[in-house]
Amino acid sequence: MHGPFCSIVPPYMLRRLAKQGAPEFSSAARAAREALGHVESFRSARSQPAPDIPAGVRQAKPGPPHRTVFDANSAEILPGTLVRKEGEAPVGDPAADEAYDGLGHTHRLYADVFGRNSIDGRGLPLNATVHFGQLYDNAFWDGKQMVFGDGDGEVFERFTKSLSVIGHELAHGVTQYSAALVYRNQAGALNESMSDVFGALVEQYVNNQSAAEASWLIGEGIFTPDVEGRALRSLKAPGTAYDDDVLGKDPQPDSMDTYVRTSADNGGVHINSGIPNRAFYLVAESLGGNAWDSPGRIWYEALTGGSLPPAATFRVFARATAASAVALFGSGSPEHDAVQLAWETVKVKL
């Protein structure tokens, strides 16, 4: 099975960066053009086939992770040279060790909280390649493994620095093996949103942060100090993650009132994901405590329960979360009420 090529940096951000003519951003512009070309070369892989594991099938009992980290040595050939296997000590390369740890943290969230045995539910080995390409401005899930670039050093730093990036990309694998959401339009925005939600939850779970304590940022730490911005996206306040002379302003809407209709970015998958992102944050804020508990369980059951069609719309997913809340906590429960109010707030009708 080969799912869609899903990258953390949106193509619209790379396009803007690629057009920069200022000498101080020459390396960044060149790196963005290369990364953008790589994204566009994978367009034929965007359509996702039916998953190997039918949605809703019971999983095997979670086992330990099986991690392997490779080094591409600045080439673009996968997987690269083996540098660290499961159970081995840190190798002293920050990117390799961050990738190894991030794979483990992500595996632990799914195993401990959701009873899921790795990304596919059947103990899939978790493989990652670091140091991909020269000054490569992206990280991506290619349907089989994680791949991390080192960034250009002018706008982006190495992508393994952010645990939410690692959790985000691996969550694309969870979606691939469960709901198989098409990577286009609202279904694609839901695909991206699921990755933002579970990427945030991995970070919160590892740091034992409550919903009130968490930053709710995706990609915090991957910008250099020269960038006016904290992260790529904010679940708490979509549209506020960055506002920079070079990168522009975060374009995410926070409700259907400002939904962006576009043919770019596969129909705005990285843009309109702000709407379901905020819905999840609002549920977590309303319920308090740890977002991986009730809110996470509701979203996870909606994603993996078998009711979502590949072309699911926001409304279809909203109804799935409401149904999950009822199944898990009962009709009229605080959880059910919080879900209904959240979708109402972002103007998605149930």
What gap in Å lies between CA 51 and CA 53, rounded to an integer? 5
Catalytic residue among 98, 270, 301, 336: 270
**Helix (H) or strand (E) run with residue 147 in it:** strand 146-148
List the one residue out of 220, 331, 346, 209 whose CA is nearest residue 283. 346
Choosing from 98, 157, 169, 192, which is the catalytic residue?
Answer: 169
In whole angstroms, what is the distance from residue 196 CA to residue 240 CA?
Answer: 15
Name the strand (E) or helix (H) holding 342.
Answer: helix 334-345
Query: How far is it, in rounded angstroms, from Cα 210 to Cα 20?
Result: 40
Burial 269-305, CB ≥16 within 10 A → b, else e: bbbbbbbbbbbbbbbbbbbeebbbbbbbbbbbbbbbb
Burial category of 268 from C-beta neighbours within 10 Å (exposed 0-12, middle 13-18, buried 19 and up): buried
Give CA–CA dist 79/72, Å, rounded: 7
List, in order, residues 6 or more apart from 20 with CB less than 8 Å away.
28, 29, 32, 246
- Name the nearest CA neighbour of 270 among 315, 227, 313, 239: 239
Phi, psi angles (nearest 5°) of residue 345? -65, -35
Whether 203 sits among the annotated catalytic residues: the reply is no
- Contacts of residue 142, defined as CB under 8 A and 6 or more positions apart, other chains included, come to 2, 5, 42, 78
The reply to whether 270 belongs to the active site is yes
At residue 217, φ and ψ (nearest 5 deg) are -105, 145
Which residues does the annotation mark as catalytic?
A: 169, 270
